[in-house]
A and B are shown apart, each in its own frame.
Chain A
């Protein structure tokens, strides 16, 4: 080693580690870190870390707890960069923590405008990082850049108007030199969009409206002025394929939610996945899961990207566990529908046409007297991250089984800033912000489960049942472990191959974020939130 190399090595050790986009793209090369919401831009929420195994997972013990100074749901997935954890305490406090001890380096508290009133909780699902800058969307629809070293705000742009019901709740996605976010607010008659901002300056680079305006392709699926209040919210982070340079985003429900009468037509691109050119925001393709939705079946799930053999040849696919109760496999190059099958009981459709359009069942529509629909309003799954393990070849879905709602249709008029839902779903099981109550339901009245699906056949390989439903995402690892939790206050590890319970801990609050894993100084940690706290576990 010559002197110059030694000097360079010393310099690189002393310099702060910058999170280049190249590092994010190759995140599997540094599994000790968690650099983007779903682990990688392919969004499999699967880690190569193997220190914790099916044999030793029983030796996990708590390393630290961070108890939030907030009673809101803790839904953020943390990032970890070289021993520092970055996450969000709801609604919009950014925190840098020592990933080993849970002690704070700094916090930055953003106070949202009082007009910010997200439908379903003052929540935030996490951050993005690029270089030494963190990015957070706020519930009053601002996008903030924050210095990762000291928590100082660098820029702050208003993305949309909170007084009209817009909010940002998901973790932004960094692609190259841009930060991409979408607007929530599907219960307020918004017109949603996805927008990319220059990571350095906050200047808007492109915008894609999820409800096309006059003259734009897809506008013909709307009539009258319904497009102006058509919904199409975005509230879960998308994915990115660097080879295709496409970024994929799931789009939320049309407005009003439960009464389709004011909005005849398919209502594109609500309840769809859109594939956008990451440089320009131009639409490359779309697939609509639930045309003319009347059941609040937001398609905001994480697009899970994988390359696999499909019917004898390699194919770039996208797996999608949809709130509407069906799991899909699409060709992510073209958007071609390859497969769609129910993973829970479904009664609103009974098959597909040759192009993959679902066939609606006559009469299964909200009504004045109420109509029973499977799955119910919270869906067969929802925003909680699924996981895919290439080792097992299984797609793991946090599922609500035997779950229904009775949908009532009510007339409604649009008024800016007020809810525009035009109906009400009734169910024995409440949404994630329902008050905690004793659990006295019977299994046939609905339960939660991890369902392990074979994406090549759409068949279930195994199921792990929970007494209550689940709002928790799923993490898998290269040691064939699966980590998740449930609403009844347990966090646990399963054998990803067969669903056998290997370890559990009662953590006394609803698990309701996506678990993640990281490593510091050779020690692997599992981090997850439950109730109002963030936990980190490692081997004894």
Chain B
């Protein structure tokens, strides 16, 4: 039964994806520049969790979903309603979809997804820090949907030079408490008086800042460079596997 339902769901989504002409895209771009760009940015990546140029939306899946959000907004989440007709909203969707088909900047060799998966689980020891579809550690970033928000070139860069770009949500801190206790952990959240971490033992820890003697951002990523640990083809395989991960499993 579940398979049957899944089939119908898939058909429904596919039916909801529209095809667009270059003129649609151009008109959508004008509407986007006039109504969306100052919050979402020229590349559609200014709002955390949303990245149009990578096809990343918070809730919407189908084109109709996206058009619905454009017209009705998301109350309480900062996305306002827009006085667009259905046809105008679809033009904006046409433009958003065109943004996501921009070419990847990856210049390495073609990779093999299956070999990449084996390298991630084996030789690369990636799951000692990362988690993919329920396997591996929760201390590093979960990669189950990394392919939905990172392009191949960006994944390759992170493998070779992990320090080049560390997203704020992946920052590691070294904490020394006033009682002398020391630990490292990923900062999950903070406010004026407290900090929340997941430590290297995967424990969720909340601390009063007044109990902390010192805390410092560890600017060097705990992830090693795979420049010499994996050869060019192996890295291509890993990249191929990782960008295939779109979440939802």
Contact = CB atoms under 8 A, between A and B. Distances in A.
Interface of A: 71-72, 114-115, 117, 119, 121-122, 187, 257-258, 408, 410-413, 415, 417-421, 423-426, 428, 430-431, 433-435, 437-442, 445, 465-468, 486, 488-490, 504
Across chains A and B, which 8 residue pairs bring their CB atoms closest together, nearest first?
Answer: A71-B76, A488-B191, A433-B78, A438-B189, A418-B34, A440-B168, A421-B38, A467-B192
Contact of A438 (B77, B80, B169): B169
B37 A439 contact: no
Main secondary structure of the interface of A (DSSP, over half): loop
A441 B34 contact: no
B190 to A, nearest CB: 5
Given A467-B190, A504-B193, A418 B35 contact: yes
B248 interface: no
Given A418-B35, A423-B38, A489-B191, 13 more contacts: A408-B41, A424-B38, A424-B41, A426-B41, A433-B78, A438-B188, A440-B168, A440-B171, A440-B190, A441-B168, A442-B217, A466-B192, A488-B191
A117 B192 contact: no
A468 B78 contact: no
A438 B83 CA distance: 31
A441 B33 CA distance: 29
A81 to B, nearest CB: 31
Contact of A434 (B47, B168, B190): B47
Interface residues on B, range: 35 or more
Contacts of B82: 117
B134 interface: no
B172 to A, nearest CB: 11
B45 to A, nearest CB: 9
Contacts of A121: 78, 80
B46 A424 contact: yes
A420 B34 contact: yes
Nearest to A489: B191
A489 B193 CA distance: 11
B190 A412 contact: no
Given A115-B83, A117-B82, A440 B38 contact: no
Contacts of A114: 83
23 contacts: A71-B76, A114-B83, A117-B81, A187-B38, A412-B34, A413-B30, A418-B34, A418-B35, A419-B35, A419-B38, A423-B38, A434-B78, A435-B48, A437-B48, A439-B190, A440-B169, A440-B171, A445-B168, A466-B192, A467-B190, A486-B192, A489-B191, A490-B191
B192 A488 contact: yes
Interface in B30-60: 30-31, 33-35, 37-42, 46-49, 58
Contacts of A417: 83
Interface of B: 30-31, 33-35, 37-42, 46-49, 58, 75-78, 80-83, 168-169, 171, 187-193, 196, 217
Contact of B192 (A420, A435, A437, A468): A468
Contacts, number: 100
Given A440-B168, A466-B192, A490-B191, A425 B78 contact: no
A34 to B, nearest CB: 27
Given A117-B82, A408-B42, A467 B191 contact: yes
B85 to A, nearest CB: 13
A320 B68 CA distance: 43
B201 to A, nearest CB: 20
Contact of A412 (B33, B40, B41, B189): B33
A466 B192 CA distance: 5
B38 A257 contact: yes
Contacts of A438: 169, 188-189, 196
A434 B58 CA distance: 13
Contacts of A115: 83
B22 to A, nearest CB: 19
Contacts of B37: 410, 421, 423-424
B34 A419 contact: yes
A424 B43 CA distance: 10
Contact of B46 (A418, A426, A490, A504): A426
Contacts of B81: 117
Contacts of A419: 34-35, 38
B27 to A, nearest CB: 12
